[in-house]
Amino acid sequence: MRYEALSLSVPYRKLNALKEQLGLNGESLSALEPYRKVFIGQSGAFSDYFYDFFMNIPETRKLIEGLENPQTLRDAWANWFRTVFMLELDENFLAYLWKIGIRHVEVNLDQRYTNLGFSIVRQFCREVIRKDVPPADAAEVTFITDKILDLCLLTETSAFIEASSRCDIEIIKGIADRIRNPITIIGGNLKRIQKLLDTADPSYCVMEDIISQSSRCESMVADIKTYVDLFQKESYPVKISLPDLIHLVVDELKSRPDAHRVSIETSLDPPANSVEADPPDIKTAFYQVLENALDAALASANPLIRITTGPYRAPFNAVKISIFNSGVPPKAEDMDRIFSLFYSTKPGGSGFGLPIARLAVRKNLGRITLQPVPGEGTAVTIVLPKG
């Protein structure tokens, strides 16, 4: 099976920003310039050093001996070492590193061996510096070499993690897409059959239970698709009016037939009237939290949702949104699982509401927490960058 995730485009902007943060620019790289040929000339010795090290580990020895031509791997290692010290740290170099990380996913390489490998590269480079770089320049060359290897490791690891995650998401999305239509058809046919039954027929209640479970499956598949789509899409933060967003979501929620039973109060602080976030992301987060709050409040004697906003100054200039509901708070033993996928305390719940909200908030550099309010209900707090 060929995953679309293995064709990920290189995120040059992100990688160039990483390069800048590491301080890798023309001025800093000038310290390495007189010694590039020294390192390039050691590419064969590096390959031998690398090969010998991993041949002494039983697990990796089996992998190497299982190759049709182990020399190909040795040549690849020598070429990698030569390339690191031969090329400028431009977009061609970043693309080269990114493709290596993708290739590691394709061959199912354990990322721990990559991390270990970079430790061995550093050891080898320091030995080269000790032998072939004058003491007066050794510290500066060691410093810049470490930075280059940091860039290599972070780029390859970033590609590996992103591609691995997206491959997993592709599988989940594929499963959801393939079972959505059959479940919908099954549910529809069950309802047609039920209409042919007399309500006094014992089979009617059995059919009701089956339809209920079928509807739950439909809801879960829809939530899985929402989660996957949210995970895959890029976020584009802009300034958002918080009162407008809250009123929009509340109005959507009020379209539910049972929403009229819940009193919804808002107290919005003018200094906290805007946030910086991706509008679809945050609308999704608010809707999921408020829908959960509505379901919980409906089970209480005096159904209430209270939405409050205010400035939040630490650790950064931000806005805090609190969504309180009068429902029964989660039990202490449930708190660690409250944001876990598929976990739900609601009958028929899919267990995706709060995880979807958390994913949306985290993508926008915010955070979300849930706290029981003893004797009153539950409060969900969302903190987002101020707009």
Determine the pLDDT at residue 248.
Answer: 92
Among 168, 187, 203, the domain boundary falls at 168
Determine the pLDDT at residue 215.
Answer: 75
Q: How far apart are CA 92 and CA 89, in angstroms?
A: 8
Which structure tokens are listed for 373?
């309010």
Nearest CA-CA partner of 274 in 318, 324, 323, 322: 318
* Inter-residue long-range contacts of 101-109, CB under 8 Å, 24+ positions, other chains counted: 101/155, 101/156, 101/157, 101/158, 101/159, 101/160, 101/163, 102/6, 102/8, 102/159, 102/160, 102/163, 104/156, 104/159, 104/160, 105/5, 105/6, 105/159, 105/160, 105/163, 105/164, 105/167, 106/6
- State the pTM of this model: 0.56
Q: How far apart are CA 225 and CA 24, in angstroms?
A: 41
In three-state secondary structure terms, 131 is: helix
Q: How far apart are CA 84 and CA 65, in angstroms?
A: 26
Domain match, 255 and 349 both: yes
Domain match, 140 and 15 both: yes
Q: Provide the residue range defining the domain that includes 11.
A: 4-168
Q: Supply the CATH number for residue 289's domain.
A: 3.30.565.10
Among 122, 140, 168, the domain boundary falls at 168
Beta-bridged to residue 319, according to DSSP, are 311, 384
Q: How far apart are CA 324 and CA 307, in angstroms?
A: 6
Q: Supply the CATH number for residue 103's domain.
A: 1.10.490.10
Q: How far apart are CA 25 and CA 39, in angstroms?
A: 19
Number of structural domains (the chain) is 2
Q: Is residue 224 part of a domain?
A: no
Q: Is residue 38 part of a domain?
A: yes
Which structure tokens are listed for 54?
């991993």
CB 266 within 8 A of CB 242: no
Q: Is residue 174 part of a domain?
A: no
Q: Is residue 360 part of a domain?
A: yes
* Inter-residue long-range contacts of 210-215, CB under 8 Å, 24+ positions, other chains counted: 211/187, 212/348, 214/183, 214/186, 214/187, 214/190, 215/187, 215/348
Tens digit of pLDDT at every position of the chain (387 positions): 444 545 667 888 888 888 888 888 878 888 889 999 999 999 999 999 999 998 888 888 887 877 778 788 889 899 999 998 887 888 888 888 888 888 877 777 777 888 888 899 999 999 999 999 999 999 999 999 999 999 988 888 888 777 776 666 666 666 666 777 777 888 888 888 888 888 888 888 888 888 877 777 777 777 777 777 777 777 888 999 999 999 999 998 888 888 889 888 888 888 888 888 999 899 999 998 998 888 888 888 888 889 988 888 765 688 899 999 988 887 777 777 777 766 666 655 666 778 888 888 888 888 888 888 888 888 999 988 888
Determine the pLDDT at residue 173.
Answer: 66
Determine the pLDDT at residue 2.
Answer: 47
